Amino acid sequence: MEVKIIETKQILPSTPPFKDEGEHELPLSHLDNDPNIRSFTFRYIRVYTASADIDRHPFDVIANSLSLALVHYYPLAGTLRPVGKSSSNQRLSLFCQSGQTFPLVSATADCTLDSLDYDSDSLEQLVPAPTLEEGLANPCILQVTVFKCGGYTLGTAVHHSMCDGMGATLVFGAAGELARGATKISVQPVWDRATLLGPRHPPRAEGPVLEFLGTEKGSKPYSHDVGPVVRQCFDVADECLDGLKDALFDECGMKFTT
């Protein structure tokens, strides 16, 4: 498979997302600033087969719908920066200002969707692969690749400090609603990390936390005669994960992506 990059378009909100023309920063939670997340951009591919009902080029449809959705999800066009003037400060916040955009790449592939080997490394060509610096400057980068059959893929690279897989799904869900002619989106985003994910005031720990923090030989986690503590990896089949998700949904009514 050979993928050819046609152009990179900067997607701008269709209307100004906020009245203030000045700059502002959106705080990130302690979870968003976890060291394991700050350097992680999650990448995945959505596959769409050809449709005879669509007479417009997929890239144009997606670019227009994302421009409409960006009015509500304008933080996706922001820039992740260290808090304060010192670059040594490892905490990040999201810097926003009027006129910000995010990149949408247009590409073509010289084959059909049916011919793809979904275990092939060549699929890496279908999704952006930003460096650490690029991922901070552009937390969201998308790529639309159109195939000879008329189908296309949407490759997504989103910095994990911005959102998780469920959050990204809500963005594309909103873009889909607006592309189908909706005048408003069904789920309005809220950026209130300080309230939703911030530490409690005053801090408090519930449960026997101290018993499980100790590393002494006599501490409770190591007092059971079950043998030495070892690190072990388990290969869990997809069917088992799906069964667990279904059981959780039946119990609490929530869907989980991981």
Task: Please name every residue paired with 141 in a beta bridge, in sequence order, or none if there are none.
Answer: 157
244 contact partners, CB below 8 Å, separation of at least 6 = none
Work out the number of other CB atoms within 10 angstroms of the CB of residue 176: 14
Q: Contact 145/107 with Cβ under 8 angstroms?
A: yes
**What is the Cα–Cα distance from 159 to 137, expressed in whole angstroms?**
10
Three-state SS sequence of 145-202: EECCCCCEEEEEEEECCCCCHHHHHHHHHHHHHHHCCCCCCCCCCCCCHHHHCCCCCC
Q: What is the pLDDT of residue 39?
A: 83
Work out the number of other CB atoms within 10 angstroms of the CB of residue 253: 7
Task: Please name every residue paired with 9 in a beta bridge, in sequence order, or none if there are none.
Answer: 104
| pLDDT average, residue stretch 153-168 | 91
Place of tokens 């949407």: 154
Answer yes or no: is pLDDT of 86 > 70. Answer: no
Mean pLDDT of the chain: 85
Q: Could you tell me the pLDDT band of residue 218, with boundaries at 50, 70 and 90?
A: low
Q: Nearest to residue 107, comparing CAs of 70, 72, 58, 67?
A: 58
pLDDT per position as a tens digit, 221-241: 556 666 676 778 888 898 998
Q: For the chain, give every domain's residue range.
A: 3-196, 209-252
Q: What is the pLDDT of residue 142?
A: 96
Q: Contact 243/250 with Cβ under 8 angstroms?
A: no
SS3 content of the chain, % helix, strand, coil (to 5): 30, 20, 50
pLDDT per position as a tens digit, 4-26: 999 999 999 999 888 766 788 88
Q: What is the pLDDT of residue 220?
A: 58
Answer yes or no: is pLDDT of 87 > 60. Answer: no
* Domain 3-196 part of CATH 3.40.50.80: no
